[in-house]
Amino acid sequence: MPILENVKISRVIFNELGFSSEKIKEIINEVNNAVIQVEHEAAIKATLTQGIDQVLEFAKKKRLKQAVFTYNTHNNARISLETAGIFHYFEVIVGRDNTKNLKPHPDHLKHICEKIDVKSDQIVVIGDTGRDIEATINIGSRSIALNTKIPNY
pLDDT of residue 59: 96
Return the higher-pLDDT residue of 79 and 2: 79
Whether residues 85 and 140 share a domain: the answer is: yes
Are 9 and 36 part of one and the same domain?
Answer: yes
Residues in contact with 91: Cβ distance below 8 Å, sequence separation at least 6, in sequence order: 65, 66, 67, 115, 116
Task: Give yes or no for a contact between 64 and 28, defined as CB atoms under 8 angstroms apart.
Answer: no
Quick one: 60 and 27 in the same domain? no
- Note the pTM of the prediction, 2 decimals: 0.85
37 and 105 inside one domain: no
Asked which of 4-8, 42-46, 124-128 is least confident by mean pLDDT, the reply is 4-8
Same domain, 66 and 17: no
Look at residue 120 and tell me if it is in a domain.
yes
The percentage of the chain sitting over the pLDDT mark of 90, rounded to a whole number, equals 76
Task: Identify whether 151 is part of a domain.
Answer: no
| Residue 152 domain flag | no
Dist. CA 28–CA 4, nearest whole Å: 9
Task: List, for residues 82-141, the tens digit of each pLDDT value.
Answer: 999 999 999 999 999 999 998 999 999 999 999 999 999 999 999 988 999 999 999 999
Query: 58 and 31: one domain?
Result: no
If one counts the domains in the chain, the total is 2
